[in-house]
Amino acid sequence: MSINALKGASMKRRLIAAALILAFPFGTAACGAQSKEAACKHIQKAAVSANKSVKIKGTSPDDIRDSLDQIIKTYKKANKKITNKKVKAAFTPLIEDLEKLRDATKSPGASTGGPDLMTDMSNHGKALNDLCGFDWGTGQ
């Protein structure tokens, strides 16, 4: 192989390397960034699924806890699919509120967490509604 051929091959490698380096940020941005709409769609699907699948058998603490467990499980599964930081930051506290509500039903005669928990749930639901544009209770 001649010196000129080696120089040409070396130049081609450098150009390919430069092209890969320049293209890398675009590829990672496209793969890593989840749109707000895509993230909210995961929540919407989870809410619709939970509304269809959860059957409240009665009003006992065990029945309520079982229903909340199903809803929480569905929402947590959706939350794992969410990578959008703003949407995740709005949705995660609502799931935590539901867990607190479920946990409050574990003791006989326990309250449902009092006005603070209900206020928190309302505020977190409103934040999610404002971000995603749907009613957090129904996912629509």
Structure tokens at 24: 């890398």
Confirm if 78 and 45 have CB atoms less than 8 A apart.
yes
What is the spatial distance between Cα 43 and Cα 94, in angstroms, rounded to a whole number?
11
Q: Which residue has the higher pLDDT, 18 or 54?
A: 54
Helices (H), the chain: 3-32, 36-53, 61-80, 85-104, 114-132
Q: Which residue has the higher pLDDT, 29 or 128?
A: 128
Please tell me the predicted confidence (pLDDT) of residue 28: 39
How many other CB atoms are found less than 10 A from the CB of residue 31?
Answer: 8
Threshold 0.95, pTM exceeds: no
Is residue 140 classed as helix, strand or coil in its secondary structure?
A: coil
Percent of the chain with pLDDT over 90: 39
For residue 71, pLDDT over 50 is answered with yes
Q: Which residue has the higher pLDDT, 68 or 32?
A: 68
